[in-house]
């Protein structure tokens, strides 16, 4: 398979065409941004680590019959994926109050939610990815109501699977963001990535509220040791998934 033209460059990844129109290549970059790219930096080896973590998690989810765009990891920073039309909706699932939920509701950081909640954000950098509801999605024609219902169900089921996985890694899954795409047959596939860039993960065995952070909040809040935290997540996730699938 030959790598073709660059189709899209985002903040953390580049998408390339291949000689097969149904297959694309995602390249993971070391670049890190936060607050809609107002803060920019690099995390050493992030591309490799997020590619490896996403690969392991998508392989794990495949064993749970979650349809994803993942085909194969082809080198340390690149994976082959199914060509999909990405829905312009970021689906966030939360188990514990943190981040923008704390800002929006005043709930204390770390409050366990009685049940997971699902939120939708409009994937639009010019608008700063605002929170939207089902009516906004219909108004803007971002997805059909049947698709929105399916996104919610898939997101909640993925949450259960990921909680099971991260539990075994001694990590608490606080919240995470998913993106979905539609393939040529109209089927919804989990797409994009699942990594410490897109999840909040707290080390179960550390009580200090800053030291326990194992995700991009270390970069957002200038806590240091960002690459060390990502590497630790990679090591733990790979060990569990490898033992499970081999």
- Closest separation in Å from C-beta 181 to ligand TMP: 16
| CB atoms closer than 10 angstroms to residue 162 | 24
Interface characters, 199-238, with ligand TMP (x: CB under 6 A):
xx--------------------------------------
| CB atoms closer than 10 angstroms to residue 177 | 20
Stretch that binds ligand TMP, among 55-63, 109-117, 133-141, 197-205 (CB under 6 A): 197-205
- Contact call for residue 92 and ligand TMP (CB under 6 A): yes
Helix axes 145-168, 46-63, angle to 10 degrees: 100
- Closest separation in Å from C-beta 244 to ligand TMP: 24
DSSP-assigned beta bridge partners for residue 176: 93, 199
Q: Between 175 and 203, whose beta carbon lies closer to ligand TMP?
A: 175
Q: Are 176 and 95 contacting, i.e. CB atoms less than 8 angstroms apart?
A: no
Distance of CA 168 to the CA centre of its chain: 19
Residue among 29, 177, 231, 236 that touches ligand TMP (CB under 6 A):
177
Distance CA 154, CA 61 (A): 11
DSSP state, residue 83 = -
Q: Between 70 and 202, whose beta carbon lies closer to ligand TMP?
A: 202
Residue among 68, 73, 159, 198 that touches ligand TMP (CB under 6 A):
198
DSSP state, residue 119 = E
Distance CA 20, CA 33 (A): 31
Q: Between 48 and 175, whose beta carbon lies closer to ligand TMP?
A: 175
State the number of CA atoms in the 13 A half-sphere of 157 facing the CB: 13
- Contact call for residue 193 and ligand TMP (CB under 6 A): no
Residue among 28, 58, 70, 176 that touches ligand TMP (CB under 6 A):
176
Residue among 42, 80, 100, 157 that touches ligand TMP (CB under 6 A):
100
- Closest separation in Å from C-beta 243 to ligand TMP: 26
Residue among 99, 122, 161, 182 that touches ligand TMP (CB under 6 A):
99
Distance CA 157, CA 139 (A): 27
């Amino acid at each position: 398979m030959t790598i073709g033209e660059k189709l899209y460059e985002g903040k953390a990844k580049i998408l390339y065409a291949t000689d097969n129109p149904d297959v694309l290549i995602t390249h993971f970059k070391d670049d890190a941004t936060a607050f809609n790219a107002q803060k920019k930096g690099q995390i050493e080896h992030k591309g490799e680590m997020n590619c490896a973590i996403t690969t392991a998690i998508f392989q794990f989810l495949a064993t749970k019959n979650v349809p994803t765009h993942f085909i194969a990891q082809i080198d340390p920073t690149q994976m082959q994926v199914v060509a999909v039309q990405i829905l312009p909706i970021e689906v966030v699932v939360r188990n514990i109050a943190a981040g923008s939920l704390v800002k929006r509701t005043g709930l204390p950081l770390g409050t366990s939610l009685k049940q997971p909640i699902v939120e939708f954000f409009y994937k639009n950098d010019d608008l700063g990815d605002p929170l939207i509801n089902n009516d906004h999605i219909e108004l803007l024609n971002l997805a059909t109501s049947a698709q929105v219902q399916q996104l919610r169900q898939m997101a909640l089921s993925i949450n259960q699977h990921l909680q099971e996985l991260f539990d075994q890694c001694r990590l608490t899954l606080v919240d995470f963001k998913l993106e979905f795409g539609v393939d040529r047959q109209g089927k919804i596939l989990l797409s994009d990535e699942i990594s410490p860039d897109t999840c909040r993960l707290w080390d179960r065995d550390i009580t200090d509220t800053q030291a326990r952070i194992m995700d991009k909040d270390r970069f957002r809040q200038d806590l240091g040791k960002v690459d060390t935290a990502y590497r630790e997540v990679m090591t733990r996730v790979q060990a569990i998934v490898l033992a499970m699938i081999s």
